[in-house]
Amino acid sequence: MIRRLALLLVVLGTLAAAAEFLLPAALSELVARGMARTLGTDKVAVTLENRPAIFMLGGDFTRVTAAARDAKVDRLVLSDARVTMTGVKLDMEQLVASRTIALERVKTVDLAVTLSQEEIARYIASSVKGISNVAVTVTPSRVRASGMLTIGGIAKVAVTLEGRIVADQAALKFVADRLVLNNAFARNIAGSVFSEVTLLEFAKLPFGVRGRDVAMEEGQVVITADNR
Protein backbone atom coordinates (compact mmCIF):
# COMPACT_ATOMS: atom_id res chain seq x y z
CA MET A 1 0.00 0.00 0.00
CA ILE A 2 2.77 2.38 0.95
CA ARG A 3 4.68 1.51 -2.22
CA ARG A 4 1.58 2.18 -4.35
CA LEU A 5 1.03 5.51 -2.62
CA ALA A 6 4.67 6.45 -3.16
CA LEU A 7 4.42 5.45 -6.82
CA LEU A 8 1.25 7.53 -7.20
CA LEU A 9 2.97 10.53 -5.66
CA VAL A 10 5.91 10.10 -8.01
CA VAL A 11 3.59 9.93 -11.01
CA LEU A 12 1.66 13.00 -9.88
CA GLY A 13 4.89 14.87 -9.22
CA THR A 14 6.20 13.94 -12.66
CA LEU A 15 2.96 15.08 -14.32
CA ALA A 16 3.03 18.35 -12.38
CA ALA A 17 6.65 18.97 -13.34
CA ALA A 18 5.89 18.16 -16.99
CA ALA A 19 2.93 20.54 -16.93
CA GLU A 20 5.22 23.39 -15.87
CA PHE A 21 7.04 23.01 -19.18
CA LEU A 22 4.39 21.65 -21.55
CA LEU A 23 1.45 23.90 -20.68
CA PRO A 24 3.28 27.24 -21.25
CA ALA A 25 4.62 25.99 -24.59
CA ALA A 26 1.24 24.72 -25.80
CA LEU A 27 -0.70 27.77 -24.64
CA SER A 28 1.95 30.17 -25.98
CA GLU A 29 1.26 28.82 -29.45
CA LEU A 30 -2.49 29.31 -28.96
CA VAL A 31 -2.07 32.87 -27.65
CA ALA A 32 0.38 33.64 -30.48
CA ARG A 33 -2.36 32.81 -32.99
CA GLY A 34 -4.68 35.22 -31.22
CA MET A 35 -1.99 37.89 -31.16
CA ALA A 36 -1.40 37.32 -34.89
CA ARG A 37 -5.03 38.20 -35.52
CA THR A 38 -4.85 41.27 -33.29
CA LEU A 39 -1.58 42.55 -34.79
CA GLY A 40 -2.27 41.59 -38.39
CA THR A 41 0.85 39.44 -38.82
CA ASP A 42 1.78 35.80 -38.35
CA LYS A 43 5.33 36.75 -37.32
CA VAL A 44 4.56 36.62 -33.59
CA ALA A 45 6.32 34.98 -30.65
CA VAL A 46 4.65 34.81 -27.22
CA THR A 47 5.94 33.97 -23.74
CA LEU A 48 3.52 33.18 -20.91
CA GLU A 49 4.24 33.16 -17.18
CA ASN A 50 2.35 31.83 -14.15
CA ARG A 51 3.07 29.38 -11.36
CA PRO A 52 1.73 26.81 -10.99
CA ALA A 53 1.19 26.53 -14.75
CA ILE A 54 -2.14 24.77 -14.28
CA PHE A 55 -3.67 28.20 -13.56
CA MET A 56 -3.02 29.12 -17.19
CA LEU A 57 -5.83 26.81 -18.29
CA GLY A 58 -8.26 29.27 -16.73
CA GLY A 59 -6.72 32.17 -18.64
CA ASP A 60 -4.75 33.56 -15.70
CA PHE A 61 -1.21 34.83 -16.39
CA THR A 62 1.13 36.88 -14.24
CA ARG A 63 2.87 38.10 -17.41
CA VAL A 64 2.28 37.88 -21.16
CA THR A 65 5.05 39.03 -23.50
CA ALA A 66 4.74 39.19 -27.28
CA ALA A 67 7.11 40.29 -30.04
CA ALA A 68 5.94 40.78 -33.63
CA ARG A 69 7.37 41.77 -36.99
CA ASP A 70 5.43 43.64 -39.69
CA ALA A 71 2.44 44.29 -37.43
CA LYS A 72 -0.41 46.22 -39.05
CA VAL A 73 -2.15 49.10 -37.28
CA ASP A 74 -4.69 50.98 -39.36
CA ARG A 75 -2.84 51.69 -42.65
CA LEU A 76 0.66 51.44 -41.20
CA VAL A 77 3.00 48.46 -41.14
CA LEU A 78 5.21 48.46 -38.04
CA SER A 79 8.59 46.85 -38.48
CA ASP A 80 8.65 45.82 -34.82
CA ALA A 81 6.06 45.64 -32.05
CA ARG A 82 6.61 44.46 -28.48
CA VAL A 83 3.97 44.23 -25.76
CA THR A 84 4.23 43.24 -22.11
CA MET A 85 1.09 42.71 -20.02
CA THR A 86 0.86 41.85 -16.32
CA GLY A 87 -2.01 40.62 -14.19
CA VAL A 88 -3.77 39.18 -17.23
CA LYS A 89 -7.03 37.29 -17.45
CA LEU A 90 -7.88 36.04 -20.96
CA ASP A 91 -11.21 34.72 -22.19
CA MET A 92 -9.95 31.23 -23.04
CA GLU A 93 -13.25 30.14 -24.56
CA GLN A 94 -13.10 32.95 -27.10
CA LEU A 95 -9.40 32.35 -27.71
CA VAL A 96 -9.96 28.66 -28.48
CA ALA A 97 -13.15 29.20 -30.52
CA SER A 98 -12.16 32.19 -32.66
CA ARG A 99 -8.41 32.74 -32.08
CA THR A 100 -9.24 36.18 -30.65
CA ILE A 101 -7.51 37.93 -27.75
CA ALA A 102 -10.19 39.14 -25.34
CA LEU A 103 -8.90 40.72 -22.13
CA GLU A 104 -11.21 40.11 -19.19
CA ARG A 105 -8.69 41.76 -16.89
CA VAL A 106 -5.25 43.34 -17.22
CA LYS A 107 -3.22 45.33 -14.72
CA THR A 108 -0.56 46.93 -16.91
CA VAL A 109 0.12 47.07 -20.64
CA ASP A 110 3.36 48.42 -22.10
CA LEU A 111 3.66 48.62 -25.88
CA ALA A 112 6.65 49.69 -27.97
CA VAL A 113 6.40 49.89 -31.76
CA THR A 114 8.94 50.84 -34.43
CA LEU A 115 8.06 52.76 -37.57
CA SER A 116 10.67 52.77 -40.34
CA GLN A 117 11.45 55.79 -42.50
CA GLU A 118 10.51 53.71 -45.57
CA GLU A 119 7.05 53.06 -44.14
CA ILE A 120 6.59 56.76 -43.33
CA ALA A 121 7.46 57.56 -46.95
CA ARG A 122 4.97 54.97 -48.25
CA TYR A 123 2.25 56.30 -45.96
CA ILE A 124 2.77 59.93 -47.00
CA ALA A 125 2.75 58.96 -50.69
CA SER A 126 -0.55 57.12 -50.28
CA SER A 127 -2.17 59.73 -48.01
CA VAL A 128 -1.20 63.11 -49.48
CA LYS A 129 -2.93 63.81 -52.78
CA GLY A 130 -0.70 64.74 -55.72
CA ILE A 131 2.65 63.76 -54.23
CA SER A 132 4.88 60.99 -55.58
CA ASN A 133 8.43 59.64 -55.38
CA VAL A 134 8.48 60.28 -51.65
CA ALA A 135 11.69 59.66 -49.69
CA VAL A 136 11.99 60.14 -45.94
CA THR A 137 15.12 60.39 -43.82
CA VAL A 138 14.87 60.15 -40.04
CA THR A 139 17.70 61.19 -37.72
CA PRO A 140 17.68 61.74 -33.95
CA SER A 141 17.24 65.48 -34.48
CA ARG A 142 15.34 65.90 -37.73
CA VAL A 143 12.96 64.37 -40.28
CA ARG A 144 13.24 65.23 -43.96
CA ALA A 145 10.53 64.25 -46.46
CA SER A 146 11.07 64.91 -50.18
CA GLY A 147 8.90 64.24 -53.22
CA MET A 148 7.35 65.54 -56.42
CA LEU A 149 4.13 67.52 -56.07
CA THR A 150 1.80 67.69 -59.07
CA ILE A 151 -0.10 70.98 -59.31
CA GLY A 152 -3.20 71.21 -61.45
CA GLY A 153 -2.41 67.88 -63.04
CA ILE A 154 0.30 69.53 -65.17
CA ALA A 155 3.14 71.23 -63.33
CA LYS A 156 5.48 69.28 -61.07
CA VAL A 157 7.43 70.85 -58.24
CA ALA A 158 10.14 69.27 -56.11
CA VAL A 159 9.04 69.61 -52.49
CA THR A 160 10.96 69.02 -49.28
CA LEU A 161 9.47 69.25 -45.81
CA GLU A 162 11.65 69.29 -42.70
CA GLY A 163 10.52 68.89 -39.12
CA ARG A 164 10.01 66.34 -36.36
CA ILE A 165 7.84 63.37 -35.43
CA VAL A 166 5.86 64.28 -32.31
CA ALA A 167 2.98 62.88 -30.29
CA ASP A 168 0.13 64.32 -28.31
CA GLN A 169 -2.56 62.45 -26.37
CA ALA A 170 -4.42 61.59 -29.57
CA ALA A 171 -1.98 60.91 -32.39
CA LEU A 172 1.50 60.55 -33.84
CA LYS A 173 2.28 63.37 -36.29
CA PHE A 174 4.92 64.62 -38.66
CA VAL A 175 5.13 68.33 -37.86
CA ALA A 176 7.05 70.31 -40.47
CA ASP A 177 8.49 73.77 -39.87
CA ARG A 178 10.40 74.30 -43.14
CA LEU A 179 9.37 73.98 -46.77
CA VAL A 180 11.76 73.93 -49.72
CA LEU A 181 10.47 74.23 -53.32
CA ASN A 182 12.59 73.19 -56.31
CA ASN A 183 15.65 73.01 -54.04
CA ALA A 184 15.79 76.80 -53.94
CA PHE A 185 12.95 78.58 -52.19
CA ALA A 186 12.81 77.96 -48.44
CA ARG A 187 9.96 79.05 -46.23
CA ASN A 188 9.09 78.68 -42.57
CA ILE A 189 5.65 77.02 -42.45
CA ALA A 190 5.35 76.39 -38.72
CA GLY A 191 1.70 76.61 -37.71
CA SER A 192 0.33 76.58 -41.26
CA VAL A 193 -2.30 74.14 -42.54
CA PHE A 194 0.44 72.35 -44.50
CA SER A 195 2.66 71.73 -41.52
CA GLU A 196 1.10 68.55 -40.04
CA VAL A 197 0.58 65.04 -41.33
CA THR A 198 -1.15 62.63 -38.93
CA LEU A 199 0.56 59.25 -39.13
CA LEU A 200 -1.25 57.25 -36.46
CA GLU A 201 -4.25 57.79 -34.19
CA PHE A 202 -3.46 56.19 -30.85
CA ALA A 203 -7.07 55.08 -30.42
CA LYS A 204 -6.36 52.52 -33.16
CA LEU A 205 -3.52 50.87 -31.22
CA PRO A 206 -4.45 47.49 -29.69
CA PHE A 207 -4.92 46.69 -25.99
CA GLY A 208 -6.42 50.08 -25.05
CA VAL A 209 -3.11 51.91 -24.71
CA ARG A 210 -2.28 55.60 -25.13
CA GLY A 211 0.85 57.09 -26.63
CA ARG A 212 3.44 58.22 -24.07
CA ASP A 213 6.73 58.94 -25.80
CA VAL A 214 8.36 59.23 -29.22
CA ALA A 215 12.06 58.74 -29.93
CA MET A 216 13.55 59.54 -33.32
CA GLU A 217 16.50 57.30 -34.19
CA GLU A 218 18.59 56.71 -37.29
CA GLY A 219 16.16 55.48 -39.93
CA GLN A 220 13.22 54.90 -37.62
CA VAL A 221 10.83 56.20 -34.97
CA VAL A 222 10.08 54.31 -31.74
CA ILE A 223 6.72 54.92 -30.07
CA THR A 224 5.99 53.79 -26.52
CA ALA A 225 2.48 53.52 -25.11
CA ASP A 226 0.76 52.13 -22.01
CA ASN A 227 -2.62 51.88 -20.31
CA ARG A 228 -1.81 54.09 -17.34
- In eight-state DSSP terms, residue 8 is H
Tell me if 43 is assigned to some domain. Answer: yes
Tell me if 111 is assigned to some domain. Answer: no
124 with 88, same domain: the answer is no
Tell me if 112 is assigned to some domain. Answer: no
202 with 150, same domain: the answer is yes
Task: Report whether 24 contacts 52 (CB < 8 A).
Answer: no
Burial 6-27 (b: 16+ CB within 10 A, else e): eeeeeeeeeeeeebeeebbeeb
Task: Print the domain residue range for 140.
Answer: 117-226
Q: In this predicted model, what pLDDT tens digit does every residue of 25-54 receive, in sequence order?
A: 888 889 999 999 999 999 999 999 998 888
Q: In this predicted model, what pLDDT tens digit does every residue of 152-193 receive, in sequence order?
A: 767 788 888 899 999 887 889 999 888 887 766 555 554 444
222 with 123, same domain: the answer is yes
Tell me the residue type at 224.
T
What is the sign, positive or negative, of the torsion defined by CA atoms of 146, 222, 170, 72? positive
Task: Report whether 226 contacts 210 (CB < 8 A).
Answer: yes
pTM of the model: 0.80
Q: Looking at the 3D structure of the chain, how many domains does it have? A: 2
Indicate the residue among 75, 106, 137 that finishes a domain.
Answer: 106
